[in-house]
Homo-oligomer: A and B are copies of this chain.
Amino acid sequence: MTGEMAIAVHALVYLDMHADMISSEVLAENVCTNPVRIRKVMSKLKKAGLVDSREGIDGGYYLRDDVKKIRLSQVMEAVQVEAVTMRWHTGNKEKDCMISSGMAEVMDGLCGELNEECRKYLSGVTISDIEQRLRL
């Protein structure tokens, strides 16, 4: 799971707990990264309809939806991040060996199934659940 997911969740919690318009610079300071990265993530959240933004002076980001309704599975989808990835594959499709030629696809399929399990689990966790966990 890439850092963009963590940034998205962090930013959504921050926006909910502050209510006014928040700039990428303020978010970057709290998240501990640079404003450009924040803007890239927020841009995806905006495209997914979870937040809105205003350009220009006193601009920034603000929540669109009630945070209780935002599920982490939606956030994952918005930032286009997969929980389980396989960036390296074994074997070789061209080889005349059932194992070597087929293993990559089988492992990719398995990762897909794991991702679906994660998606299901994350659909049961909302941003306000995360806020609750922060308070404990």
Q: Which residue of B lies closest to A72 (CB)?
A: B110
Q: Is the interface of A mostly helix, strand, loop or mixed?
A: helix
Q: Does A21 sit within 8 A of B, measured CB to CB? A: no
Beyond contacts A6-B88, A6-B89, A31-B90: 14 other A-B pairs, Cβ-Cβ < 8 A, are A1-B84, A1-B86, A2-B88, A6-B103, A6-B107, A14-B99, A30-B97, A31-B91, A32-B90, A32-B100, A83-B84, A99-B134, A110-B130, A114-B118
Q: Does A36 sit within 8 A of B, measured CB to CB? A: no
Task: Kindly state the separation between the CA atoms of A86 and B1 in the bound complex, as whole angstroms.
Answer: 6
Whether B1 contacts A31 by the Cβ 8 Å rule is no
Copies in the complex: 2
Interface size class, chain A: 35 or more
Q: Does A67 sit within 8 A of B, measured CB to CB? A: no
Q: Given A13-B99, A13-B103, A99-B10, A30 and B114 touching (CB < 8 A)?
A: no
- C-beta contact mask, A43-57 vs B, less than 8 Å → 1, else 0? 000000000000000
- The B-contacting residues of A in range 11-59, CB under 8 angstroms, are 13-14, 17, 30-33
